Chain A
Amino acid sequence: MVLALGAGSLNIQAGGAYQQPKDFVREAFGGAPPEPSRLWIDAALKAQIRQVLERDLGVLRLRYWGKDHRTAWILDEIGKERPITTGIVVENGTIERITVLVFRESRGFEVRYPFFTDQFRGARLREGLDLDREIDGISGATLSVRALTKLARLALLLHDHSDFAGGR
């Protein structure tokens, strides 16, 4: 499940809520976030999303924040049972940061730590919509690692289709 959290409230109450999405967006733009934009999911993008997630997104559009050649996305993906809410910033077609905002699974919490998420910094999409690098996993957290890797690829793909994609 991937949610356009921007469509609803940006406040989350959950056991493993490490940062509120609105705070992530504010931080991503130095305290002055732009007005949210919306990305419509057309047929071509839908097919690419299916390639990344191995299923449809299930929404018509996604809310995101963009300025210059930089975009911020709040995306969810299920690891094993429950969605992991993630904030991702993309600049000029590369991952600038990926932050686990809410983790609801029983196992695999390690994916929230910088020692893991730092591996995504600078990652780009290569042919086949894969990341241009190998992401080392965490034993016992395979599904959480896989979920975050998918979300990183998805954010890069969405950035490319956004109004702020120039400059790659």
Chain B
Amino acid sequence: MKKKHFCILLSMLMAVTLLLGCGSDDSNSNANESVVETTKDSEETKASGSVEEKAPVTLTMWVWDDAQVPATQAMIDEFHDMYPYITVEITSIAGMADYNTKMRAVVGTADAPNVFWINFNLAKEYIPMGFVQGLNEFIDNDSGFNKDGLNASIIETYTVDGTLYGVPKDTDGFAVFYNKSLFDAAAVDYPEDGWTVDDFVETAKAMTSEGVVGWSNSTSDRVYYNFMYAYGGSPYTEDGLSPNVNSSESIEGMQVLLDMMNDGSAYSRADLDEMGSGVAFESNLAAMTIDGSWMISEFYTALGDNLGIVELPEGPNGIASTGHGIAYATTTTNPFMEETWLFLSYLGSDAAQEKQIEVVIPAANGCASIWESVYPDLNLAAFTTALDHNKSYLAVKNATAARSAFQEHLANMQSGMYDNAREAMDAAAQAMKDAIDE
């Protein structure tokens, strides 16, 4: 008898251990219970005008970059000093794919975060789904929030049908990184801001020698889009509904880069497959590389004083840099909308945005000069001027699938599958159109 009871107890224990792993936390339901009290409290206190009587509120915040958690925590701490009754807890989810999967799982449920990072790709999927909260009403009622102080291009991308859905957090841009020691060894002058695409092609050719390639090339569509814009083309039409990669201007831009690859002054796809463009640049194998502002600290660590930065070269239609920025957003089912807006409003201020200059370029225009001082020896102004001509690079619908289609054809073009850029771009445009229309 005793043995049997022991066996049953043991199985119960095992069952409990199994279920422990998949239980949802109860803190949300507790918090929901206290919402009623909080809103009642805050309504009373609004009337009386004092802040001290509020019940404590805890907001959850989701981010996807561990490296930015310290900066975010600094913002949270300052915000907590301003509003002691609001506590914010960060959850950092490693990797975009995981973040996206988790968000999709909790959207519309009580487990959804109160504040979360959103980027262009996600915005194209989430906003049409209807669960991202529009912020116009809160902005109009908040005199302390300065919308014009944030990067206009990023604001525009997160504005759909006149409604702003996110508070811009950061922005990025492209520039040309070059290796000073390789230029010295080849006795070629350093590139200067204001140079043209022809200068770029010439410099790459001059720098190509035994064991060194002029331009590392890139597998990224954004790098190529910069040149499309520079020649007057664009990846998508104004409304973002059809691809424009096969317009004659876009093709011209692509052909210039394809020619560079064909005459050896840029890596071929085979080289890129074996060794990435960043790795080649850091190993003194490529004289120049075009990459985004997020690579500054990595390149600086690898090359130190040998790192030089210069603006993207100008084409017949000027310079363009495809800019992207993360924003803070909240859900329509957020029970703590008022407190969340206080937090979002703070996050859009210069004081908050300043705290992240070590890791990203803040979207607040007032922080640009402070950001440039992070690496005083580098020409970071090349990036901040790029912010003025930030261009979009995503379709309005099925953005990820369309991007994937372009990347494939870019890869094929770089592997020599097509005779020229026109053929490649015609094929790409067709594939992108199919992806968008699906």
Instruction: Report if A and B associate in a common complex.
Output: no
